[in-house]
Structure 1
Amino acid sequence: MLPYIIWTIRRTGGTSFTSLLDNLSSYPSLEHEPFNKNRVYGYITHKYHAGEESTVDEIYQILKDKPNIKHCFEIIPEQINLNILKATQLLGYNQIFLYRSDQAARTMSLILSQATNVWGPKQTARYAPYLNREKKLIIPNDHACRRKMQSDRHLSENMYKHIQKLSSPLLIEFEQLYQECEMSRKTYIEYIFSSMGIYGALDEKVSFAQLHLKKGVTKSTDIRKMIPSYQKTLKYLSKNEVPYSFQKKTRSQLSRFVTNAISRIINTFKS
């Protein structure tokens, strides 16, 4: 298993997925999103905003021990993203692109997190003032939400194209990773592990992954009810959603894996 970098945007299940992989990897782990301004390599981003260019070599040097990385590229300047991409490619990283095909739901999830400061299941106590009606939840209007969704879609498409120029990234879809059907989720996890070169005691690792990913889901159903316009805005965004250009590739990659797995089973019985 190679060191990996997960390219993603916020509210795609990246934290739980990265924590899962960190448990299976022999490479060192970093604080998630290490290039954010308030994180371990945030000084790179601070320097950029102060007018000082970052370089590929600088990032190469700080990553030479090959720590695993979860990177939310939509909040980092493009030039830094490109330097991170080039440095990790030189270091032999496994490039992973995690996305959420339901862009409307992701956008609303992000807006809800920004409004409540709840970013994971361990922070849901922060919902209390809103559920108790001590505080009022206010979200942006439909058009502002739509602009955010479109902007993030554009950034995702653009970043994927940059990665694809240098490597063949493993595309991972949130909806497949966190789906309710355990059998389908198990198959998808097996596909991911196979693509990443994770072998040995595979059944145990897949079972662990199933349990870990279940725990990582933030339940926000109750808090959504506190926003009268939530469903209306979600419906509006869904109508204006344009699928990612790379979605079909994700499905075809998985389809090939399933077909090959079935063939192996059939051949086993034949022999």
Structure 2
Amino acid sequence: MAEPGQTLVNTGAGKIATPFVIWTLQRTGGTNFNGFLNRASAHAKFQDEPFNLPREHGSVTAAWNADKDVDKLAADIDAICAQKKNMKHCVEKVPNAVNRALATSATKFGYAPIFLVRRELLPRVLSKEYAERTKSWGPSTVLEEGQDDFAFGRPLDVERLAAQEAEAIETLTKAWRFLRKMEAAPIVVSFEELYNSDVAVAVAAFNRVLKRLGVAPDADTIAEMVEAVRSGGDQQTRDRYARFEGIDTLRERLAEIELPAFIASGPQA
């Protein structure tokens, strides 16, 4: 169902009947993509990143952290997935046990796993660092240019950021491999395909996602979808990141991270 004030999306082939989990990392374009798919879905949605500690089902993660009870974790997540609400899930924000339990339960209840990745690592890392320093996690909270000077007052902690990125990619890879092992038919789409490529590339990416979700819109509808996703959600801050000290060194360190095939090599099913 649409959020209050939002317009439902017509896929041209009925509402999306398959619930989905978007498996991703922070600052990967997931909020806009997820919002669009939810407006086209027959299902309601959970709060974004519902298992983060301050969020809707953060108590599940807190309980796991406290007692490491595998059976309770599975039962709690089964009860959540039985509702068949859509969700966007950032894997690096919760323990791997939660990711694994979610993958198991979501597969059991028929969720389609959609992996949203970012193949260019530096922009994601800089976007996340900027958001953390300024608390600007979306267009509504962005500071006016010049009011964010404090964000650039100290150099980038290159080693910390590179290590965090490598760990985040490894966590996402574990989820991908686990879902593949369960034959859950995960698919992957990239930020670059959706937002930074020719329209034809974005159209192909949307077709891939919607096919996995069981709908097949016509070409005109797909083009409208691409335009809708690309037209909103950009907080217009990426031009500011050049002010960070240490970008060249960070770029070199991130280039040393070996990307798994599902991120580096393009679409897989």
Q: Same fold (TM over 0.5)?
A: yes
Which residue is equivalent to 2:229? 212
Which residue is equivalent to 1:78? 96
Question: Structure 1: 5+ residue runs without aligned partners?
Answer: 254-271
Equivalent in 190, 214, 221 of residue 238 of structure 2: 221
| Aligned equivalents of 1:89, 1:201: Cα separation in 2 | 28
Matched, 1:146 2:162: yes
RMSD of aligned C-alpha atoms? 2.3
Read off the aligned partner of 1:227 and give its amino acid letter.
F
Read off the aligned partner of 1:91 and give its amino acid letter.
F
Helix, strand or coil: the match of 2:114?
strand
Which residue is equivalent to 1:39? 55
Helix, strand or coil: the match of 1:129?
coil
| Aligned equivalents of 2:90, 2:144: Cα separation in 1 | 23
Equivalent in 167, 172, 185 of residue 202 of structure 2: 185
| Aligned equivalents of 1:179, 1:223: Cα separation in 2 | 18
Q: Which moved more, 1:179-188 or 1:85-94?
A: 179-188
Identical-pair percentage: 22
Question: Structure 2: 5+ residue runs without aligned partners?
Answer: 1-16
Would you tell me which structure has more helix in proportion to its own residues? 1
Equivalent in 125, 130, 137 of residue 112 of structure 1: 130
Determine if contact 1:20/1:209 at 8 Å carries over to the other structure: no
Map 1:86-125; keep pairs closer than 5 Å: 86-125=104-143
Map 1:181-260; keep pairs closer than 5 Å: 181-200=198-217, 203-204=220-221, 206-230=223-247, 232-247=248-263, 250-251=266-267
> 1:92/1:233 Cα in 2 relative to 1: closer, same or farther (>3 Å)?
same
| Aligned equivalents of 1:242, 1:84: Cα separation in 2 | 26
| Aligned equivalents of 2:150, 2:58: Cα separation in 1 | 35
Q: Which has the larger radius of gyration?
A: 1
CA shift for structure 1 position 187: 2.9
Helix, strand or coil: the match of 1:175?
helix
Which residue is equivalent to 1:264? none
TM-score calculated relative to the size of structure 2: 0.83
> 1:62/1:156 Cα in 2 relative to 1: closer, same or farther (>3 Å)?
closer
Equivalent in 21, 25, 28 of residue 37 of structure 2: 21
Which residue is equivalent to 2:10? none
Determine if contact 2:114/2:209 at 8 Å carries over to the other structure: no
Query: What is the aligned residue count?
Result: 250
Helix, strand or coil: the match of 1:55?
helix
> 1:50/1:250 Cα in 2 relative to 1: closer, same or farther (>3 Å)?
same
Which residue is equivalent to 1:173? 190
TM-score calculated relative to the size of structure 1: 0.83
Matched, 1:69 2:87: yes
